[in-house]
Amino acid sequence: MKKILVTGGAGFIGSHVVRLFANNYPDYFITNLDVLTYAGNLENITDLEALPNYEFVKGDITDEAFIDELFNSKNFDAVIHLAAESHVDRSILDPMSFVKTNVLGTGVLLNAAKKYWKNKEDKLFYHVSTDEVYGSLGETGFFTEETPYDPRSPYSASKASSDHLVKAYHHTYGLPIVISNCSNNYGSHQFPEKLLPLMINNILHSKPLPVYGKGENVRDWLWVEDHARAIDVIFHTGINGETYNVGGFNEWKNIDIVHLLCNIMDKKLNRVEGESAALITYVKDRAGHDMRYAIDATKLERELGWKPSLQFEEGLDKTIDWYLANDEWISRITSGSYKQYYDQQYTKR
Ligand code: NAD
Ligand code: DAU
């Protein structure tokens, strides 16, 4: 039985990844390691608890003694590393927690893999990263795997550092690795500090819709289950040492996506046309706000045969329906410390 450590599996993308692996590969044993920060939530994965090939372990990737003991006792064959601090605005407020989790935490995992993996050839360290490491684009062009790194926020700088560490352990110690750099994900179970769930939640509760700056920044959106499928494909068929870009071929200006959400939700909530859009409020721009991200994911399609399965309109429809059906999930996870963060973010703008 192949033993796989997935880190960050109680978070948004990680929960979809552990679900896919635990259900589709009964001959793999999945250890889901997560420290359960504000973004990690066991409710995201209750359906997995009864599976015989799955376990949850609460623990911190920055705790070297704990990670060493885990590697020593579990004899993992592979790691899929997603645990991270993931929200750009929080990295602007508190950069050091991003350095700690994303840089130090990745280093601790790499070091344990180097120390405990004797026959390295049979092992794999899969590092899940972001397109933000490439910086910001003008009106044209795409990020390819050859685009030089140019991270510009504390979040993207910490992810770029972690990517470099992973590559360094490959070149220096021969650790088998793959890295994927993905664009903006959307779908169920995303913490409602990120654009889409924040807007859906605020539309539902008729709260202001805070659009940063002029709303002209562009992001490339990918359905989270398609990202999980890409991770599956890269994990199984990616070439040792390679990087793969993952994207939706689906660019949107923020303001256009907010209008689209408003129109769809007016219909779903039986509101008069324009009622939700009236909530749009332009607020102070994010510091150092990257203008445009756009991923060229043709290497992944050409070499490994992956492409997005879902049209954006269909994915958005499913996503909105999930949040409407899970309003209590949002209420629970946004009570407590999130409320403080939200007020700090938006009341002063
Ligand atoms: P998330 O914030 O929803 O989840 C992160 C998870 O990591 C949480 O469950 C949290 O509890 C856990 N975690 C944080 N610190 C930890 C620690 N010290 N030890 C153990 N667990 C810890 O993040 P997400 O959006 O699901 O992103 C997952 C990964 O994918 C991240 O590495 C992120 O950089 C990358 N990524 C995200 C996106 C996106 O659009 N969300 C796109 C590309 C890449
Ligand atoms: O590109 C991949 C990255 O996408 C991931 O690596 C990050 O983990 C993930 O958080 C995401 O980063 P972004 O900063 O692009 O996502 P966010 O949802 O925070 O913002 C999307 C865009 O919407 C961005 O241009 C900022 C804008 N925005 C965001 C929020 C939360 C607003 O205009 N208003 C808001 O309230």
What is the tens place of the pLDDT at every residue in 111-130? 999 999 987 889 999 999 99
Ligand 1 contact via 84 beta carbon (within 6 Å): yes
Residue 348 belongs to some domain of the structure: no
Residue 299 belongs to some domain of the structure: no
Compute the mean pLDDT over every residue in the chain, rounded to the nearest whole number: 96
Are 280 and 154 in the same domain?
no
Ligand 1 contact via 200 beta carbon (within 6 Å): no
Instruction: Answer yes or no: pTM beyond 0.95.
Output: yes
Q: What is the dihedral of CA 10, 14, 19, 24, to 10 degrees?
A: -150
Taking the CA of residue 87 as reference, the ligand 2 atom at the shortest distance is: 10
Is residue 273's pLDDT more than 70? yes
Q: What's the rounded mean pLDDT across residues 241-260?
A: 98
More confident residue, 137 or 329: 137
Taking the CA of residue 105 as reference, the ligand 1 atom at the shortest distance is: 18
Question: Could you read off the pLDDT of 195-220 as tens digits, one per residue?
Answer: 999 999 999 999 999 999 999 999 99
338 confidence band (pLDDT: 50, 70, 90): confident
Are 174 and 211 in the same domain?
no
Are 206 and 240 in the same domain?
no
Residue 162 CA to ligand 1 center (angstroms) comes to: 13
Q: Which two tokens stand for residue 235?
A: 């994990």
Ligand index nearest the alpha carbon of residue 212: 2
Residues designated catalytic: 131-132, 155
Residue 274 CA to ligand 1 center (angstroms) comes to: 35
Are 53 and 80 in the same domain?
yes
Q: How many CB atoms lie within 10 A of CB 267?
A: 10
The full DSSP string for 219-276 is: EEEEEHHHHHHHHHHHHHHPPTT-EEEE--S-EEEHHHHHHHHHHHHHHHTTPPTTTT
Ligand index nearest the alpha carbon of residue 185: 1
Taking the CA of residue 182 as reference, the ligand 1 atom at the shortest distance is: 43
Residue 160 belongs to some domain of the structure: yes
Ligand index nearest the alpha carbon of residue 293: 2
Is residue 250's pLDDT more than 60? yes
State the pLDDT at residue 347. 66
Question: Could you read off the pLDDT of 75-97 as tens digits, one per residue?
Answer: 999 999 999 999 999 999 999 99
Question: Could you read off the pLDDT of 26-63 as tens digits, one per residue?
Answer: 999 999 999 999 999 999 999 999 999 999 999 999 99
Among 37, 56, 57, 85, name the best residue to mutate to test ligand 1's pocket (greatest count of ligand atoms within 8 A of Cβ): 37
State the pLDDT at residue 339. 75
Are 18 and 56 in the same domain?
yes
Are 229 and 273 in the same domain?
no
Taking the CA of residue 246 as reference, the ligand 1 atom at the shortest distance is: 43
Q: What is the CATH number of the domain that holds 110?
A: 3.40.50.720
Nearest CA to ligand 2 atom 16: 194
Residue 9 belongs to some domain of the structure: yes
Taking the CA of residue 193 as reference, the ligand 2 atom at the shortest distance is: 31
Ligand 1 contact via 127 beta carbon (within 6 Å): no
Nearest CA to ligand 1 atom 33: 86
Are 136 and 280 in the same domain?
no
State the pLDDT at residue 336. 73
Residue 333 CA to ligand 1 center (angstroms) comes to: 16
Residue 324 belongs to some domain of the structure: yes
Are 272 and 241 in the same domain?
no
Are 175 and 209 in the same domain?
no
342 confidence band (pLDDT: 50, 70, 90): confident
Is residue 349's pLDDT more than 70? no
Residue 165 belongs to some domain of the structure: yes
Where does 90-249 show beta strands of DSSP type E? 124-130, 177-182, 184-186, 209-212, 218-223, 243-246
Taking the CA of residue 346 as reference, the ligand 2 atom at the shortest distance is: 36
Are 46 and 158 in the same domain?
yes
Ligand index nearest the alpha carbon of residue 342: 2
- SS3 call for 127: strand
Q: What's the rounded mean pLDDT across residues 222-233?
A: 98
Q: What's the rounded mean pLDDT across residues 129-133?
A: 98
Q: Which of 19-33, 111-125, 156-170, 258-272 has the lowest mean pLDDT?
A: 111-125
Residue 285 DSSP code: P
State the pLDDT at residue 332. 86
Residue 161 CA to residue 107 CA, distance in Å, equals 10
- Which residue range is the domain that position 330 belongs to? 195-218+251-288+311-341
Residue 148 belongs to some domain of the structure: yes
Question: Strands 251-253 and 218-223: what pairing?
Answer: antiparallel
Are 164 and 52 in the same domain?
yes
Is residue 159's pLDDT more than 60? yes
Q: What is the CATH number of the domain that holds 316?
A: 3.90.25.10
More confident residue, 127 or 341: 127
Q: How many CB atoms lie within 10 A of CB 119?
A: 6
Binding-site residues, ligand 2, Cβ < 6 A: 86-88, 130-132, 183-184, 194-195, 198, 210-212, 217, 219, 254, 286, 293
Ligand 1 contact via 247 beta carbon (within 6 Å): no
Are 256 and 241 in the same domain?
no
State the pLDDT at residue 348. 56
Residue 349 belongs to some domain of the structure: no
Diameter over CA atoms, the chain? 64
Ligand 1 contact via 245 beta carbon (within 6 Å): no
Among 191, 194, 216, 245, name the best residue to mutate to test ligand 2's pocket (greatest count of ligand atoms within 8 A of Cβ): 194
Percent of the chain with pLDDT over 90: 92
Q: What's the rounded mean pLDDT across residues 225-242?
A: 98
Residue 101 CA to ligand 1 center (angstroms) comes to: 10
Into how many domains does the chain fold?
A: 2
